[in-house]
Amino acid sequence: MTLSLKEVVLITDKIYPFYLGGYERRNWELAVRLSNTVNVKVLTSLDHRSITAGDNLTLYRVFPRLSYLNSRGYRNIVHNLAYSLGLLRFIGIRASIIDANATPYIHLPLVYLIARLRRIPLVITCHEALYDSIPDLVDRLFLRWPQVFRRLFVVIARGIYLQSLMHADKLVAVSAPVARVLEQELRRPVTVIPLGVSRTGRRSSRKQVSTPGAFEIGYVGRLHPEKRVCDLITAVAKLNSESNGCINAHIIGGGPIRQDLESECVRLGAKSVVEFHGVISEQERDKILSGLDAFAMPSAREGFSLASLEALSFGIPVIAALPTRGVDGIASIVTDGVNGLLYPVGDVSKLCMCIRKLMTNRSLRLQLSESAERASKEYQWDRIGERLIDTYEGLLELKAS
């Protein structure tokens, strides 16, 4: 029997441009590229019942487009459960392959049910490895619940997590570090298909975005406690006092702790050198990125970091936090001393040292910039789309044999 790749169903609770973020962007970029070859259906969150996004690309509403995060920036369990149950409406769907985004995990048993009832090969794409982090996540989600119930939920959540991933026909991870942890957890092979960028190439000219002659550093992403943007603000405030105002920071993105971060800037006397741009267009973001001397990713946990990859594509050295435990996804794209600098997560003094090193050593900055541009050329969306199609076709050949 021969199985051919004719139609792919992508299952993801969020997709760009309706939601911003790394996996949201990956889902969109790959859906567009897959639709050049096969028919693609995306089951996601929309305001409309369906949207035709191209000749072979259609988005279908599983659940209305709402925030999947609560006021503290963590997953809203009610909305995520409602999205999961909404997938039952598509139990009769037909496809050559189902590729489900692993997040928010609670939906995976229903995805597995649909795939098995329809006898469709199932691919699950993981942006992080969560087994060891589940207790912390449960404590954050159910902070007011009695401890006995939280412990029970940890057991249930870990069971769903392991069983759902174990029964997929193919597991995909977005970085080699995520893949290594998953292989240790599950004792099965994992294919790496990373995120990508649409552009590579050096900035044609450096545009000053703030004070002429000042060192410009930026961050792009959610303003959430685990992103540790406060570390960057603290470091910038310290270096500002040392250098008499020769540093500026640009914070791009929104989130539940923006006001807290702005208050911290006032407290540290850094209000004049830290600018919060909020959620802005790609054109505005790119204009700011083109004027940066360095990019900071102080996050405590990154499965990959699309924002850092996009900075590299501009030839911007990345200063990134390396977690002391868990997945060090940032290390898959940033190499210390080659295209950026790494420091232990949460160590503000080491972060200051990294920034200071680039502020005072122009030759190092230029060297890292050239390497950053070269590194990003490996991550073109078109190439990654081809790798994904090869993975699908290989799975179909295996199923047919």
Cα–Cα distance measured from residue 207 to residue 230, given in angstroms and rounded to the nearest whole number: 26
Per-residue model confidence (pLDDT) at position 208: 45
Task: Dump pLDDT digits (tens) for 150-193.
Answer: 888 888 888 888 888 999 999 999 999 899 989 998 999 999 99
The full set of domains in the chain, from first to last, is 7-196+380-400 (3.40.50.2000), 215-376 (3.40.50.2000)
Can you give the pLDDT at residue 72? 66
Cis peptide before 17 (omega within 30 of 0): yes
Token representation of residue 277: 């741009």
Backbone phi and psi for residue 126, each to the nearest 5 degrees, phi listed first? -110, 130
Average pLDDT of the segment spanning 69-94: 83
2 — pLDDT class (breaks 50, 70, 90): low
Residue pair 307/329 in contact (Cβ under 8 Å)? The answer is: no
Instruction: Look at 11-25, 83-97, 190-204, 223-237 and tell me which has the smallest mean pLDDT.
Output: 190-204
For residue 258, count other CB atoms closer than 10 A to its CB.
17
Q: Categorize the per-residue pLDDT at 133 as very low, low, confident or very high, splitting at 50, 70 and 90.
A: confident
Q: Indicate whether 312 pLDDT > 90.
A: yes
The rounded percent of the chain whose pLDDT value lies above 70 is 93
Range 88-92 average pLDDT: 93
Quick check: 397 pLDDT over 90? Answer: yes
33-57 pLDDT, tens digit each? 999 999 999 999 998 899 998 899 9
Across the chain, what does the average pLDDT equal?
89
> What is the C-alpha radius of gyration for the chain, rounded to an integer number of angstroms?
22
What is the end-to-end Cα distance of the chain in Å, rounded? 8
**pTM flag (> 0.75):** yes
Helix (H, G, I), strand (E, B) or coil at 73: coil
d(CA 372, CA 313): 7
Angstrom distances, CA of residue 390 to CA of 16, 24, 167, 317: 24, 22, 21, 32
pLDDT of residue 352: 97
* 215 pLDDT higher than 50: yes
**If we measure between CA atoms, which residue out of 82, 83, 119, 74 comes closest to residue 101?**
83
**Mean of the pLDDT values across residues 254-267?**
94
Which pLDDT score is estimated for 211? 54
Cβ-contact 307, 193 below 8 angstroms: no
Is the per-residue pLDDT at 237 higher than 50? yes
Give CA 378 to chain center in angstroms: 18
